Amino acid sequence: MDETDADCMAEMPEPRPKIAAGSREDRDGVRQASTAGKEQSSSKTSELMKQVVGRENLKGALRRVLANKGAAGCDGVTVEELTPYLKEHWPRLRRELLESRYVPQPVRAVDIPKPGGGTRRLGIPTVLDRFIQQAVLQVLTPIFDPDFSESSYGYRPGRSAQQAVEAGRRYVEAGHRWVVDMDIEKFFDRVNHDVLMARVARRVKDKTLLRLIRAYLNAGMMVEGVVQPRGEGTPQGGPLSPLLSNVLLDEFDKELERRGHRFCRYADDCNVYVRSKAAGERVMASLEGFLAKRLRLKVNRNKSVVERPWKRTFLGYSMTLTMKPKLKVAPESVRRAKGTLKQLFRRGRGRALKRVIVEINQFTRGWLGYYRLAQTKGVFEEMDEWLRRRCRWLLWRQWKRPRTRAERMHEFGLDKERAWQSAYNGHGPWWNAGASHMNASVPVEWLATQGLLSLLIEHRRLAAAS
């Protein structure tokens, strides 16, 4: 935070005391104490709102919101406008928060496509509400996170989807070669507010903070300019929703642990690993009843199955059918990646190939970073071939006329007679992109000079680094 940002915190009190000796700050700027959270007593959690509006806590929240950027909420205020707004209005907002008079604004509804089809509705809070939620999150995380299950990986400091996937692979290698793949129906839309707040109130005794959390749960959603009231759910999009989802589902985790199950949960995606199909069916039926009775959540039986792990996808990964299974990129993940890359190539028809490759590389680096645990190289070889063909497809489209195509292929080194014959072959761009004349004209080495990243080589580098 620079001096300008820090100035808006001038009206805030001094930093709250440290939680406990041995606390550590996670990479997200959330202060977490592995032992202090467990030792929080009722008396220590009865004045948490003062910690929320503490100067150092708010400075950390502001840094986080500014770094995350993000879209404006229903009021249209951007991230860049947050600091000047706080400079002017923070004393009033602080009083409202401490006196339980602050009213969150409705979240803005945004529908995004789901990987498997359909859409997922996000609720984007205003920038100010994101700032306040982040401040609340930083205070609540040390209280709740240390007690969460070791098998819970989603939205937690220092934990990742890759760790969940690797844990699942180890369970399968240990002989638990059936998986109960559970899907909670519309989880973020169906969270019961009373059930959730009861779980929060077990650890949080500050009634002011509890009222603020309830206010965020009850904040309406603006859809096409109309505010719709909300009586259930905790929409994805705000900083606080992931923690609240873990607070609710922690009871589910504890029940699985009590029964001695081996499982991995990432948000509402949960895999339970068992030794037989019959055991899996029993677990499925039992857990379905538990979720309905205790948490008022419904299992989607159309998407929940008992199956072999190598026939299922978990967080974008699958695994091989071997006694010591290897992780691999799931076919559905490859199809989604190709769909995104196709859009990037289509947008590049009127631009130089080098500029298109820059965008392609940005996507593939991020994609490889996520799938760095994959232990089979075939998918990366196939993706490399597909990307090179897409580059040749783009060039063929850009050359447009047969005469231009013949001249360009000849300039690239193809025999003149073959270049002219190939240019007039009558086939479409995708066929020509895979034909020998384009492979000879635009070889792998030339595409590398244009900057095209090799997924196979980059994956080997990432694997060696890890």
Q: What is the pLDDT of residue 9?
A: 58
pTM exceeds 0.85 for this model:
no
Q: Confirm if 95 and 11 have CB atoms less than 8 A apart.
A: no
Largest CA distance in the chain: 88
Instruction: HSE, CB side, 13 Å, CA atoms: give it for residue 48.
Output: 30
> Does position 434 have pLDDT exceeding 60, yes or no?
yes
> Does position 433 have pLDDT exceeding 90, yes or no?
yes
Q: How confident is the model at residue 115 (pLDDT cuts 50, 70, 90)?
A: low
Q: How far is CA 141 from CA 46, 148, 203, 270, in A?
A: 16, 10, 11, 22
Q: How confident is the model at residue 44 (pLDDT cuts 50, 70, 90)?
A: low
> Does position 55 have pLDDT exceeding 50, yes or no?
yes
> Does position 17 have pLDDT exceeding 60, yes or no?
no
Strands 24-25 and 107-113: unpaired
Report helix angle 55-68 to 127-144, nearest 10.
120
- The average pLDDT across 85-97 equals 95
Rounded to whole angstroms, the Cα distance separating 82 from 238 reads 16
Rounded to whole angstroms, the Cα distance separating 128 from 57 reads 15
Rounded to whole angstroms, the Cα distance separating 144 from 138 reads 11
What is the pLDDT of the chain when averaged over all its residues? Answer: 88
Q: What is the pLDDT of residue 233?
A: 82
Strands 305-307 and 269-274: unpaired
- The average pLDDT across 437-459 equals 96
Q: What is the pLDDT of residue 189?
A: 86
**pLDDT per residue over 237-259, tens digit each?**
889 999 999 999 999 999 999 99
127 CB contacts (<8 Å, ≥6 apart)? 65, 70, 72, 73, 77, 78, 79, 81, 82
Length of the chain: 466
**pLDDT per residue over 384-410, tens digit each?**
999 999 999 999 999 999 999 999 999
pLDDT > 90 in the chain, percent: 76
| Angle at 175 (CA atoms; ends 269, 257), nearest 5 degrees | 50
Place of tokens 């196939």: 382
Rounded to whole angstroms, the Cα distance separating 402 from 426 reads 9
Q: Confirm if 209 and 52 have CB atoms less than 8 A apart.
A: yes
